[in-house]
Amino acid sequence: MGHNKSKRAILRMVLAGTTAVTLMGCMGDEATRGAFSAERPALSTDVKTTGRFAERVQSTDAETTPIFGFLKRNNSEETPTRNASSISVGENLTGATVQAQPALAGGTGGKESSALIETLLRREAVLNANTSYGKVAGSVLAANSRAAEAELRSAKLRAEAASKNWLPTIGPSLSLSSLGEVVASLVIDQVLFDNGRKKAERSFAKADVEVAAVALAEDTNDRVYSALELYITAERGRAQAEAGSRAASRLGEFAWIMEQRVRGGVSNPADVNVVNQKLAEAENQRNSDLETARTAIAELNAMSLKSLSDVRGLSTIASSKAAKPLSILKAEAERDRDIAQATINRAGFLPSVSAQAVVSDGGSGVGLNAGAANGFGFGTKASLKAIEATKEAAGRRIDQASEDQSRTMRRLEQNLISLKRQQKQGQGLLASANDNLSLFDRQYQAGQRPVMDVVSVYETKVATERDQIGLKYEIALVELQIAHLMGALVDGEDI
């Protein structure tokens, strides 16, 4: 009887000690330990809640000391909390009392820092917040559902879990003895040597967070690009519709003149039909441009916090600084993740050593286990070579991503040069068309030109003007595409 009590006492001591060690590792940093602490902050008069964090107000000095210890702000005059619907489009919110932390803040979720995430946080946008582009970007970002952020949070939690993989594992075990009795025991495993498997698992989790972070940055940049593309499309439709309205008004005057001339027997009735046909085409083109603008604005308003129908005009896009494109950053993160996965797979074919302790009512024991998770077979050598080939392929994907990005950039740059050349040349053509129209109009007023000649010259002028308007917005769109390719449409802190 005493022997059984002694064994139970040993079992309880082992359980208590191992559980304490595991909990200390799982509790992690200061923020996590607050959840396990017996002392919980009481929301009394000396505690205020701001956003997602609670802070205890220190009355003895000018600082506010947060309860959790990882958020510290100066105690300044506070502005009441505001609903998102009360925020003006493009409004500068830097004066708000509480600013939400960037989704990229906090590194990889583990103890290791990430140079890639720090690079993303330091990225600067090429858009000015006070311009029309900045207002559109701010409104659509405020209404972003941020589905990619949820994946980033999940990856950070996996990385945090992986950072504790060096701790021992505890698990119950049930077995059936030869006499039909159920034997319960507690098994404690501690890896002593695993050819770098545990370290590779931590590296994989870190790289997985970096891939998710770049994916979030790409998703945010894609959203701003889509919104600005719709905005430029709407502006182009509006500008061309305005030009079409002027053309339709002038052609209407020509049609009225031709009708009067036909009634007076001066002109051929067929000329009236020709002018009316041109007038109908101009009105149809104007209506088409208006519908294009309305469709783009409707779609833009559907993805923004507030209506952007009143925002007008194009903005200048600053030249992006020497920042590495997001596609290359993602390829680098995926390379690190693939190499870590290959290291894990390789360790599965190599021997590992672990210590195991078993505690049960029938006794306790400690032993060493050695072996390979995947075992050894006739295909082991080929499997190891395949793993090494995977590492090489991961490195080559960066070269491919760099080449693809460079090709796209060179194409966009040459396209921009061509459009600017066409715009400059078109300005001369438009000036020449205006001069010809003025000359033909004076000759018509002097009775030296028929109305149809003036109509023909005016039609040429309208077509040239429409092309010039289109070139202006095509240039703006290509400049936007270059900034999007560089991933420079959103500040890192806004991601």
CA atoms 90, 86, 218, 153: torsion sign: positive
Pick the CATH number of 125-494 from 1.20.1600.10, 3.90.1280.10, 1.10.645.10, 3.40.50.300: 1.20.1600.10
Q: How confident is the model at residue 122 (pLDDT cuts 50, 70, 90)?
A: confident
Q: Is the per-residue pLDDT at 202 higher than 80? A: yes
Q: How confident is the model at residue 95 (pLDDT cuts 50, 70, 90)?
A: very low
C-alpha–C-alpha distance, residues 251 and 455, integer Å: 8
The identity of residue 33, as a single letter, is: R
pLDDT digits 0-9 by tens, 49-81: 333 333 333 334 444 333 333 233 344 444 444
C-alpha–C-alpha distance, residues 270 and 252, integer Å: 16
340 contacts 204 by C-beta, under 8 angstroms: yes
Can you spell out the DSSP letters for 192-225?
EE-TTHHHHHHHHHHHHHHHHHHHHHHHHHHHHH
Token pair of 131, please? 């311009």
Mean pLDDT throughout 34-56?
A: 38
DSSP single-letter state for residue 49: E
Can you spell out the DSSP letters for 343-379?
HHHHHTTS-EEEEEEEEETTEEEEEEEEE-SS---TT
| Tokens 């600084």 belong to residue | 321
**pLDDT for residue 123:** 87
Residue scoring higher pLDDT (471 or 29): 471
**pLDDT for residue 435:** 93
CA atoms 212, 213, 214, 218: torsion sign: positive
Average pLDDT, the chain: 79
Q: Is the per-residue pLDDT at 429 higher than 60? A: yes
Instruction: Name which of 12-26, 213-227, 396-410, 448-462 the model is least confident about.
Output: 12-26
Question: Exposed, middle or buried, 51 (CB in 10 Å: 0-12/13-18/19+)?
Answer: middle
**pLDDT for residue 287:** 95
Instruction: Rounding to the nearest 10 degrees, give the CA dihedral for residues 280, 285, 289, 291.
Output: 50
**pLDDT for residue 404:** 94
* C-alpha angle 315-318-324 in degrees, rounded to nearest 5: 135
pLDDT digits 0-9 by tens, 260-279: 888 888 888 888 899 999 99
Residue scoring higher pLDDT (371 or 149): 149
**pLDDT for residue 111:** 66
How much of the chain is helix, strand and coil, in % rounded to 5?
A: 60, 10, 30
Which of 9-18, 93-102, 300-309, 356-365 is modeled with the greatest confidence? 300-309
Domain residues of the chain, as ranges? 2-36, 125-494
**pLDDT for residue 194:** 86
Instruction: Name which of 21-25, 63-67, 485-489 the model is least confident about.
Output: 63-67
**pLDDT for residue 131:** 92
Q: Is the per-residue pLDDT at 326 higher than 80? A: yes
State CA 61 to chain mean position distance.
41
State CA 280 to chain mean position distance.
45
pLDDT digits 0-9 by tens, 356-391: 888 877 677 788 888 777 777 777 788 888 888 888
C-alpha–C-alpha distance, residues 93 and 91, integer Å: 6
DSSP single-letter state for residue 447: T
